[in-house]
Amino acid sequence: MVGPFPPAVGGLANNMNLLTQSRLSRDFELIPFSTAKKRRRVFPNRAHWDSLPYLVLHAFKLFASIIKHRPQVVYFKGTSDTGFLRDMTLMGVARLLGKPVLCHLHGRPMGRLFAREKNAWRPLVAWGMGLAQETVTLSPGLAEEFRIMFPKASLTPIPNVVDTNRFKPMAENSSRGPLRVLTVGRLSREKGTWDLLQVGAKLKELNIPVAFRLAGIGETEAEENALKTECGKLELDVSFLGTVRGDDLVREYQRAQAFFLPTHAEIFPNVVLEALASGLPVVTTNVPVIPEMFGAEEGYLTDPQDIDAMVGALKTLATDDAKRKALGQNARALAEANYGIDVAANKLGSLLKKLGA
């Protein structure tokens, strides 16, 4: 299994960790190979000065690991932007050694490499996609989009998963006081953190008490400090929690009454699954692939940066206890039915057996 593992932060690392704890670990011998970089702050889809040294290091280490362990299949977690150059290189190492490749593509058509419009990168990316005998996408909609771009690829949609035994609602969650709203993820413009401040300011003007709790760190220390300064100026009830993991993160979901992710761009965010499993109504944006994850019976979808719509959704959750509880119950039921760990493990197991036969 090639990809980022904890302590790396993010959906990819979380998904890798969950799969190693699933029935896959009983049916297969799973050999982890981490591509995580030792950095505290992460800039997704952006080149960094150490990207090339890390690529060379990981390529040599993967070559040695395959020689040592002699796996029947090499399973890659891939991304669909500039990181695919790394993924393609490492998949090439596996194919050079004669190993079948399963690529789990955590991405969508975006950026330069996977742009929907044909460009100079398309032949190289198509060749890279061809290194995998089987490719997993995160949703049926993504499978259709990638199929148009890469008609020769064998594509299977398998959603991300959540540990529903761990992330679950509290037996009792008091409705007294301000609406407790949790956000989990990077603090940045792309994640909509600055939009959250605008939402908070409008709710304050409407005398709707809301307490925001932000689990995550800024892309830069300067941006994080600027957000805190702006919160102070607006006199908002916002708690900056920093990086929250493990049981502490579970407790944050259980203490919350709603989950808010005003993001501008996502790729099947695990945090939405964690919120659904925790029985929280979700307020987020209709960017791909989020509308495939849940519907109006579990929460609210707005356009990115539609501050008034976000304010309206959170106002409803703050003032209508029955509505909030009904959405939360539906959210939990959806997570149990569609996003349990074994749902994905069963499908991945079938693909691994096919490739390893």
260 φ, ψ (degrees, to nearest 5):
-130, 125
- CB-side neighbour CA atoms (13 Å) of 48: 15
146 in helix, strand or coil? helix
Here the tokens at position 259 are: 């989950």
Burial class (CB in 10 A: 0-12, 13-18, 19+), 195: buried
Q: Which domains does the chain have, with CATH numbers?
A: 2-161+340-356 (3.40.50.2000), 179-338 (3.40.50.2000)
Please check whether residue 273 is in contact with residue 234, taking contact to mean a CB–CB distance below 8 angstroms. no
253 φ, ψ (degrees, to nearest 5):
-65, -40
One digit per residue, the tens of pLDDT, for the chain of length 357 reads 999 887 766 678 888 888 888 889 999 999 999 998 775 555 555 556 567 888 999 999 999 999 999 999 999 999 887 889 999 999 999 999 999 999 999 888 877 788 888 888 899 999 999 999 999 999 999 999 999 999 999 999 999 999 999 999 986 656 678 999 999 999 999 999 999 999 999 999 999 999 999 999 998 899 999 999 999 999 999 999 999 989 999 999 999 999 999 999 888 899 999 999 999 999 999 998 999 999 999 999 999 999 999 999 999 999 999 999 999 999 999 999 999 998 889 999 999 999 997
